[in-house]
Amino acid sequence: MIGRSILKRFGRNEPPRRIGVFVSHSKDEAIAKQICTGIDDAGAESFLDELKVEAGDVFEQRLLDGLRRCEEHVILLSPRSVTRPYVWMELGASWIMGRRIVGIMNGITIRELRAMDGMPALIADLNLIDIGDVKSFFEELRRRAGHDAKQ
């Protein structure tokens, strides 16, 4: 019989790592936190700066660490967020790293996004969802995370 110490050494007692989902927003903390709750309830692990960056942390380094550990990126698109450089820097980093990017529109339409001067082309190519349809994203995430909706 294989001893517990050997199994532990080979990582068999450790639970599998959950899918990480980085959440970008700008001053939409309440909605972003609700999205994080849905992400966590779907069996993934959310990263939101307000919840993960602590006093004394180097803000930019914690964001980069969070982006590196996450396989997916949710960007909350609102009239305010689309004007914020940090949101676009985070999006660009995720795009370069080949992450799945999910745009959730809140208070802005696809037509308005596409009409904005300087809007990154990759936003126009994404299958964006409206905040009212966010439950469909959580259901898709639950499947990707390996959790059947019936569980």
* pLDDT tens-place string over residues 7-27: 455 555 555 568 999 999 988
The most confident of 87-91, 115-119, 146-150, by mean pLDDT: 87-91
Instruction: For the chain, give every domain's residue range.
Output: 18-144
Query: What is the average pLDDT across 61-80?
Result: 88
CATH topology of domain 18-144: Rossmann fold (3.40.50)
Burial-class residue 47 by CB neighbours within 10 Å (0-12, 13-18, 19+).
Answer: buried
**Whether the predicted pLDDT of 3 surpasses 70:** no
pLDDT value of residue 1: 46
What is the rounded distance in angstroms from the CA atom of residue 100 to the CA atom of residue 117? 24
pLDDT tier, 113 (very low <50, low <70, confident <90, very high otherwise): confident
User: Cβ of 41: how many Cβ atoms within 10 Å?
Assistant: 13
pLDDT tier, 151 (very low <50, low <70, confident <90, very high otherwise): very low
pLDDT value of residue 35: 96
Mean pLDDT of the chain: 82
pLDDT tier, 139 (very low <50, low <70, confident <90, very high otherwise): very high
pLDDT tier, 129 (very low <50, low <70, confident <90, very high otherwise): very high
